[in-house]
A and B are shown apart, each in its own frame.
Chain A
């Protein structure tokens, strides 16, 4: 049973545009929601994370928006750059758990 659903599967954006990736979760026990960036041949790297007591978190060009009632969260990449081209994964973890549950990933391509 997939507990974190991610969309879209792939996304093409022009340089300078805004990239938006969405995730929805089912388990209300989740209390930590990170986003990871993965380049080919590399392991996932933490980009930004949020806890459900805030509705938005911004770090540089990256923003997480969180809607607890809808059980949804999204990643916004402002002023997207070709170097942002990678696969992005949302994930979730429960307060009593050790495991990260990942979405299926979004392959982002930023055209110059």
Chain B
């Protein structure tokens, strides 16, 4: 059984650009959540997808958007990048109903916006 994987591991972008981050959920998991972890802080919830539908969103602007595919993998898209978007982006998957089960985190994608 493979765990949660994310790609790429590191990414450097410039302000105003767009970025797409990818996540493959753990086998058998149908719920994916995305979190932003700024340096020295706890993860902040961005949004969650359950069976390809958004199921909850945190306090992030609309330029943060996502998708979940039929195989339950997921993408996080960020448009018009700002310097403050520099962070570790974490994906977590969970089995069962809409994230009420334990969430298992991937290693994250480190994004640097210059």
The answer to the question of A97 belonging to the interface, with a C-beta cut-off of 8 Å to chain B, is: yes
The answer to the question of A45 belonging to the interface, with a C-beta cut-off of 8 Å to chain B, is: yes
Give the bracket for the number of chain A residues in contact with chain B.
20 to 34
In the bound complex, do residue B42 and residue A104 qualify as a contact, i.e. CB atoms below 8 Å apart?
Answer: yes
The answer to the question of A102 belonging to the interface, with a C-beta cut-off of 8 Å to chain B, is: yes
Complex interface residues of chain B between 50 and 71 (CB less than 8 A to chain A): 50, 55-56, 58
Residues of A within 8 A of B41 (CB): 104-105
Q: How far is the CB of B101 from chain A (nearest CB, A)?
A: 10
In the bound complex, do residue A98 and residue B55 qualify as a contact, i.e. CB atoms below 8 Å apart?
Answer: yes
Which of B42, B43, B56, B90 is in CB contact (< 8 Å) with A98? B56
Number of interface residues of B (CB under 8 A): 27
The answer to the question of A42 belonging to the interface, with a C-beta cut-off of 8 Å to chain B, is: yes
Which of A34, A99, A102 is in CB contact (< 8 Å) with B42? A102
Residues of B within 8 A of A4 (CB): 42
In the bound complex, do residue A102 and residue B56 qualify as a contact, i.e. CB atoms below 8 Å apart?
Answer: no
What are 6 A-B contacts with C-beta separation under 8 Å? A43-B105, A98-B33, A98-B48, A98-B98, A98-B99, A105-B42
The answer to the question of A12 belonging to the interface, with a C-beta cut-off of 8 Å to chain B, is: no
Residues of B within 8 A of A34 (CB): 102
In the bound complex, do residue A46 and residue B43 qualify as a contact, i.e. CB atoms below 8 Å apart?
Answer: no
Residues of A within 8 A of B105 (CB): 36, 43-45
Which of A43, A44, A99, A103 is in CB contact (< 8 Å) with B58? A99
In the bound complex, do residue A41 and residue B102 qualify as a contact, i.e. CB atoms below 8 Å apart?
Answer: no
The CB with the most chain A CB atoms within 10 A, among B33, B40, B58, B105, is that of: B105
Complex interface residues of chain B between 73 and 111 (CB less than 8 A to chain A): 90, 92, 98-100, 102-108
Q: How far is the CB of B43 from chain A (nearest CB, A)?
A: 5
- A101 with B45, Cβ < 8 A, contacts A43-B90, A44-B90 known: yes
In the bound complex, do residue B43 and residue A100 qualify as a contact, i.e. CB atoms below 8 Å apart?
Answer: yes
CA of A56 to CA of B68 in the docked complex: distance in angstroms?
Answer: 37
- Lowest 3 CB-CB distances: which A-B pairs, in order? A102-B42, A43-B105, A99-B45
Q: What 1/0 mask marks residues of chain A from 47 to 65 whose CB sits below 8 Å from any chain B CB?
A: 0010000000000000000
